[in-house]
Amino acid sequence: MRRIAIALFIIVIAVVSAAGCGKKVPTIGISQYGEHASLDNCREGFIEGLVDAGLTEGKDFKVDYQNAAFDDAIASQIAQNFSSNNVALMLAIATPSATACYAAAEDKDIPVVFSAISDPVKAKLDSGNVTGTSDKLPVEAQLDLIRRLQPEADSIGIIYTSSEINSVSTIAEYEQKAAAYGFTIMSIGIMQQSEVTLAADSLISKGVDCFSNLTDNNVVGVLPSMLEKTREAGIPVYGSEVEQVKIGCVAAAGIDYFELGRQTGAIAARILKKEAKASEIPYETISEYGIYINSSALEEMGIMVPSDIADRAIEANN
């Protein structure tokens, strides 16, 4: 027993020395679910949003940034760490981090600000000392864009992870709205990343006219290999945000995560300045979306871009 006690004591000391520093500058604990271009953009935008609101890093706030490398158990430990350190505010990027932060803040009055969550209501983040921004996809704008670029197309293939709350609710919206634009949705739900390319093969063999992506982590993670297949088959793939277009999707009506982050930063600034409590600020959905195109991918697929779209579209090509 004594050895156990000694070992535990050593750990306690280690944790104490690591965590013990209590300066007056309020700390913002940023918990990001993993490293991922869109989520990184979101975080960088967040800092800029704070700076825009007149706050200076180092003077008005400091940042403790942690990412969970897509591991839920670590996301939860990060959240508890923030809670124990009594951070002034938690920024949680992506749903698993947000639910973990909100759970860790349960008995404390630490405001939680989230970003990059499609459905805050389903994630039970719509009441309490919590607010943030939703990255709900502009589904109608995307359907409209596909219709304009491929006037002849009938069906859209979508691959999504059936366990992701975000993806399931977006698929429902696609199915509900597709008919108005003359499309049928052919969707395949997958459980693991390794199934994405199999699902793509299956949809290609069923003869879909194009693919449209969600912000589904599993699908986005293996997008390059999926694009290889679709390029061979001559089927265009539409992305859901700028990073996907950069790596070879033809176009996207999507949100700009940097902007989303900036909007989130503005909310956080109000809380830090004590202008409002998180519980008093309703979550915001980004209303602005951009149209992003990848000219070389479009050309490869033989798609002509109507001039009005070309005028407002932003070229995203690496």
Q: Which residues bind other proteins (CB under 8 A)?
A: 1, 3-4, 7-8, 11-12, 14-16, 18-20, 22, 34-35, 64, 66-74, 76-78, 80-81, 83-86, 95-96, 99-100, 103-104, 106-107, 122-124, 128, 162-165, 168, 191
| Closest CB to other proteins among residues 172, 314 | 172
Of 166, 212, 217, nearest in space to 188 by CA: 212
CB of 70 closer than 8 Å to CB of 12: no
CB of 242 to other proteins, least distance (A): 23
Which residue stretches of the chain are H helix?
Answer: 2-19, 37-52, 72-84, 95-104, 139-149, 165-178, 196-205, 217-221, 223-233, 242-246, 257-272, 295-300, 307-312
| Closest CB to other proteins among residues 16, 304 | 16
Our separate counts of H helices and E strands in the chain read 13, 13
CB of 94 closer than 8 Å to CB of 79: no
| Closest CB to other proteins among residues 71, 140 | 71
| Closest CB to other proteins among residues 31, 150 | 31
CB of 145 to other proteins, least distance (A): 28
Q: Give how far Cα 106 sits from Cα of 46, 100, 112, 114, 134, Å.
A: 24, 10, 10, 15, 21
Concatenate the DSSP letters of all residues of 69-80 into one string. TT-HHHHHHHHH
**Structure tokens that stand for 168 in this block:** 């399931």
| Closest CB to other proteins among residues 86, 296 | 86
Phi/psi at 310 (nearest 5 deg)? Answer: -60, -35
CB of 95 to other proteins, least distance (A): 8
CB of 115 to other proteins, least distance (A): 17
C-alpha 253/C-alpha 238 separation (Å) is: 9
CB of 69 to other proteins, least distance (A): 5
Angle 165-178/139-149 helices, nearest 10 degrees? 50
Amino acid at 97: S
CB of 163 to other proteins, least distance (A): 4
| Closest CB to other proteins among residues 8, 314 | 8
| Closest CB to other proteins among residues 83, 230 | 83
CB of 45 closer than 8 Å to CB of 266: no
CB of 191 to other proteins, least distance (A): 6
Q: Return the bridge partners of 64, or none.
A: 29
CB of 28 to other proteins, least distance (A): 14
| Closest CB to other proteins among residues 94, 297 | 94
